[in-house]
């Protein structure tokens, strides 16, 4: 790890001390910001209008070397506490992903505490916990019905209450962000790639239940990330096994994009899928690495939504053939961040040093600007609940 000078750390400590009064992210815990009070994440320190805000954001950024800033934009799968602690301590990655292959003791035995202690700034501890067949915690906190079953059997108000309870149990384990809900609109058979992960083939039903889930996670103190923008529910196949083509953009406007349009101001992050979208993406460039898709989401006007100032995550970049058949992990992460994603997700920590070497090269050669990196680092900080609005 590169060492920050004592002088720089002292300056940073002074700048950040002004931010500590609002009780946001402490050294070993992450508190999700209330969406109603979260300031626009798109602003850079230089564009902020008050000296206090400039000092706070600049102070936060100053604690990182350029390489560590890039590492803050990575979320990687880990096998257990030792793997996670090494990746965090060595490179100061911004997040870890708990998968089906992760040692259950990381959460059940509170080993996560020592991993969080290795982080300079609050660490995102993420998981896929949708309920139904996409559940990593069924043996720890109990099973939950699939999205489709939930929408068919309980009211959205009752589903909200269930989501609060489940989110509270997740937070007690050390989870900070759930890569859910699935906001796809689908009438696929239950066991297909989206299938019963979708609340309904009615976009308004999806909006109500996905919105209830997001509110439940927030009220439990977790971040939520809706997926898979711009909509996997009508896709031609499974992006785990190969390329997926969606209907043209003008058709997505009428159905698949509706829940995202409705929920873009909910405070949830957005995960972009590996989807080829006629009328939007260029050939052989899936949405997860497409500048056009990132711009559509960020600006909003191209699909009738408000501008999105929150974090944009990629779907897994190393374990899904829709991306791995096209490129390796270093190329995929570089392409995603250069396209405008704020956070690149993949399922193993082994390539972290090589990915960061590649990203540093992209910065040196002008393909990825440090201004854009800083914007993404600040978006991720706000999503974690780190107070930068002083």
Band (356; pLDDT cuts 50, 70, 90) = very high
Band (47; pLDDT cuts 50, 70, 90) = very low
Band (70; pLDDT cuts 50, 70, 90) = very high
Burial-class residue 170 by CB neighbours within 10 Å (0-12, 13-18, 19+): buried
Please give the average per-residue pLDDT across 41-69, as a whole number: 69
Q: What is the 3-state secondary structure (H, E, C) of the chain?
A: CCCCCHHHHHHHHHHHHCCHHHCCCCCCCCCCCCCCCCCCCCCCHHHCCCHHHHHHHHHHHHCCCHHHHHHCCEEEEECCHHHHHHHHHHHCCCEEEECCCCCCHHHHCCCHHHHHHCCCCCCEEEECEEECCEECCHHHHCCCCCHHHHHHHCCHHHHHHHHHHHHHHHHHHCCCEECCCECCCCCCCCCCCCHHHCCCCCHHHHHHHHHHHHHHHHHHCCEEEEEEECCCCCCCCCCCCCCCECCCHHHHCCCCCHHHHHHCCCCCEEEECCCECCCCCCCCCCHHHCHHHHHHHHHCHHHCCCCCCCCEEECCCCCCHHHHCCCCHHHHHHHHHHHCCCEEEECCCCCHHHHHHHHHHHHHCCCCCHHHHHHHHHHHHHHHCCCCCC
Band (58; pLDDT cuts 50, 70, 90) = very high
Give CA–CA dist 376/370, Å, rounded: 10
For residue 351, pLDDT beyond 80? yes
Whole-number percent of the chain with pLDDT over 90: 84
Among residues 355, 289, 282, 359, the alpha carbon closest in space to that of 322 is found at 289
| pLDDT tens-digit series, residues 245-279 | 999 999 999 999 999 999 999 999 999 999 999 99
Q: What is the mean pLDDT of the chain?
A: 89
Give CA–CA dist 76/92, Å, rounded: 12
- Backbone phi, then psi, for 64, in 5-degree steps? -105, 145
Say which residue, 257 or 41, is predicted with more confidence.
Answer: 257
- Please give the positions annotated as active site: 240, 315
pLDDT at 35: 38
Quickly count: other Cβ atoms within 10 Å of residue 263's Cβ: 23
- Backbone phi, then psi, for 121, in 5-degree steps? -135, 155
Domain ranges of the chain: 71-384
For residue 216, pLDDT beyond 50? yes
pLDDT at 52: 54
| pLDDT tens-digit series, residues 300-323 | 999 999 999 999 999 999 999 999
Please give the average per-residue pLDDT across 210-231, as a whole number: 98
Give CA–CA dist 235/170, Å, rounded: 31
pLDDT at 53: 54
pLDDT at 389: 77
Burial-class residue 145 by CB neighbours within 10 Å (0-12, 13-18, 19+): middle
Superfamily of domain 71-384: Glycoside hydrolase, family 3, N-terminal domain (3.20.20.300)
Burial-class residue 134 by CB neighbours within 10 Å (0-12, 13-18, 19+): middle
For residue 41, pLDDT beyond 60? no
Give CA–CA dist 66/62, Å, rounded: 9
pTM: 0.88
């Amino acid at each position: 790890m590169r060492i920050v000078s004592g002088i720089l750390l002292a300056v940073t400590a002074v700048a950040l001390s002004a931010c500590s009064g609002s009780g946001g992210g402490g050294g070993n815990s992450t508190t999700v910001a209330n969406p109603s009070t979260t300031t626009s994440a798109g602003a850079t320190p230089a564009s902020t209008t008050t000296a206090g805000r400039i000092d706070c954001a600049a102070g936060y950024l100053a604690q990182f070397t350029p390489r560590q800033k890039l590492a803050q934009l990575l979320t990687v799968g880990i096998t257990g506490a030792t793997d996670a602690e090494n990746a965090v301590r060595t490179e100061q990655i911004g997040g870890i992903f708990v998968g089906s292959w992760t040692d259950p003791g990381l959460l059940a035995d509170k080993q996560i505490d020592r991993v969080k202690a290795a982080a300079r700034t609050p660490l995102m501890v993420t998981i896929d916990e949708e309920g139904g067949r996409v559940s990593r915690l069924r043996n720890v906190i109990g099973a939950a019905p699939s999205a489709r079953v939930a929408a068919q059997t309980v009211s959205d108000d009752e589903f909200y209450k269930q989501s609060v309870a489940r989110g509270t149990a997740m937070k007690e384990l050390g989870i900070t962000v759930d890569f859910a809900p699935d906001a796809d609109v689908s009438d696929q058979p239950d066991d297909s790639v989206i299938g019963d992960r979708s609340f309904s083939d009615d976009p308004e039903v999806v909006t109500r239940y996905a919105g209830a889930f997001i509110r439940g996670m927030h009220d439990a103190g977790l971040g939520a990330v809706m997926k898979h923008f711009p909509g996997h529910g009508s896709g031609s196949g499974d992006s785990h096994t190969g390329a997926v083509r969606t209907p043209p953009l003008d058709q997505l406007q009428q159905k698949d994009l509706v829940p995202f349009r409705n929920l873009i101001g909910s405070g949830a992050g957005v995960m972009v899928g590996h989807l080829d979208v006629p009328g939007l993406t260029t050939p052989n460039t899936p949405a997860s690495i497409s500048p056009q898709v990132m711009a559509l989401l960020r600006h909003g006007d191209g699909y009738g939504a408000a501008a999105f100032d929150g974090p944009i995550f990629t779907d897994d970049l190393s374990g899904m053939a829709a991306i791995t058949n096209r490129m390796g992990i270093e190329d995929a992460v570089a392409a995603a961040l250069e396209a405008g994603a704020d956070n690149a997700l993949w399922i193993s920590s082994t390539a972290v040093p090589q990915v960061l070497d590649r990203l540093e090269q992209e910065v040196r050669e002008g393909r990825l600007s440090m201004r854009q990196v800083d914007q993404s680092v600040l978006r991720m900080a706000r999503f974690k609940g780190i107070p930068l609005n002083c």
